[in-house]
Amino acid sequence: MEKKITVLLVDDHSLVRRGFRRMLEDEPDMEVVGEAGDGEESVKLAKQLHPQVVVMDCALPGMNGLQATRAIIESSPQTAVLMLSMHSENTWVRQAIEAGAKGYVLKNALDLELSAAIRKVAAGETVFDPKVEQRAALKGERNAALTPRELEVLQMIVDGKSNKEIATALDLSANTVAVHRANIMNTLGIHKTAELVVYAIRSGLVNVP
């Protein structure tokens, strides 16, 4: 008998996890080895259980799916992460790829072929929802995946802090902050701070108080 694909389900809604579990338990070649309701728990369980595939919800309380994916890949590079998200924007897809996800599937797709996507990422392939514009993301023509430091700076820009205030908070020079700000704007193709703030909030790149 062939070895089963081991799966860890991560979603903050227990009903969603239960639905996915039922779906996967009908597959003879799959075994759900664990469930997590938040990012921190998913990282801990991934270290303990060493699943082949982690089905990761993008929007989690506390440590989000992108951060959890990065942490899981760092500690278990052999684990494939399949990201489930409500967001189809390129920025999210790029962030997921940058974090190390092997696939990106829209959660609200009526024809969500979860088991097929899991088999593909377990076999080392990449999977992207047809509605997601993955070509630009994969080619990296204008890679909008910001670095963790740039995301920190972006959060503070959205919070209304000046370069000097950001520099003090992050223990950087004001010049370095100015460079980060310029890089963020170049990466996202935005030239005004007001537009940057609106884009960052709409794209879910920052936390809004």
| CATH number of the structural domain spanning residue 170 | 1.10.10.10
How far apart are the C-alpha atoms of 17 and 71, rounded to whole Å? Answer: 21
* Polymer length in residues for the chain: 209
Instruction: Reply yes or no on whether the pLDDT at 6 is more than 60.
Output: yes
How far apart are the C-alpha atoms of 42 and 7, rounded to whole Å? Answer: 12
- Between 97 and 20, residue with greater pLDDT: 20
Condensed to tens digits (0 to 9), the pLDDT of residues 27-84 reads 999 999 999 999 999 999 999 999 999 999 998 888 999 999 999 999 988 999 999 9
Structure token pair of residue 178: 């100015």
- In order of 62, 74, 75, the CA distances from 102 in angstroms are 23, 14, 16
Contact between 98 and 73 under an 8 Å Cβ cutoff? The reply is no
Instruction: Reply yes or no on whether the pLDDT at 135 is more than 50.
Output: no
Structure token pair of residue 100: 């190390």
DSSP assigned state of 88: -
pTM: 0.65
Which residue in this structure is represented by tokens 């309380």? Answer: 61
14 and 37 inside one domain = yes
Q: What is the mean pLDDT of residues 151-174?
A: 93
Condensed to tens digits (0 to 9), the pLDDT of residues 178-207 reads 999 998 888 887 888 888 888 887 777 787
Residues near 10 by beta carbon (within 8 Å), at least 6 away in sequence: 35, 36, 37, 39, 41, 42, 54, 55, 56, 57, 60, 65, 68
130 and 153 inside one domain = no
Q: Residue 107: its pLDDT value, please?
A: 81
Least confident of 63-67, 107-111, 168-172, 174-178: 107-111
91 and 118 inside one domain = yes
Cα 119 vs. chain centroid, distance in angstroms?
20
- Residue 168 placed within a domain: yes
161 and 116 inside one domain = no
**Share of residues in the chain with pLDDT > 90 (%):** 52
- Residue 208 placed within a domain: no
Q: How does the average pLDDT of the chain come out, rounded?
A: 86
Q: Residue 173: its pLDDT value, please?
A: 93
Contact between 77 and 91 under an 8 Å Cβ cutoff? The reply is no
Residue whose C-alpha is closest to residue 8's, from 27, 17, 16: 17
Q: Residue 109: its pLDDT value, please?
A: 65
Q: Residue 21: its pLDDT value, please?
A: 93
129 and 155 inside one domain = no
189 and 116 inside one domain = no
Given pLDDT bands bounded at 50, 70 and 90, which one contains residue 142? very low
Residue 81: which domain range? 5-139
Q: Residue 199: its pLDDT value, please?
A: 81
Which residue in this structure is represented by tokens 């520099």? Answer: 167
134 and 184 inside one domain = no
Least confident of 129-133, 153-157, 198-202: 129-133
The one-letter amino acid at 115: S
Q: Kind and range of the H or E element at 54?
A: strand 53-57
Structure token pair of residue 4: 């089963």
Q: What is the mean pLDDT of residues 91-113?
A: 80
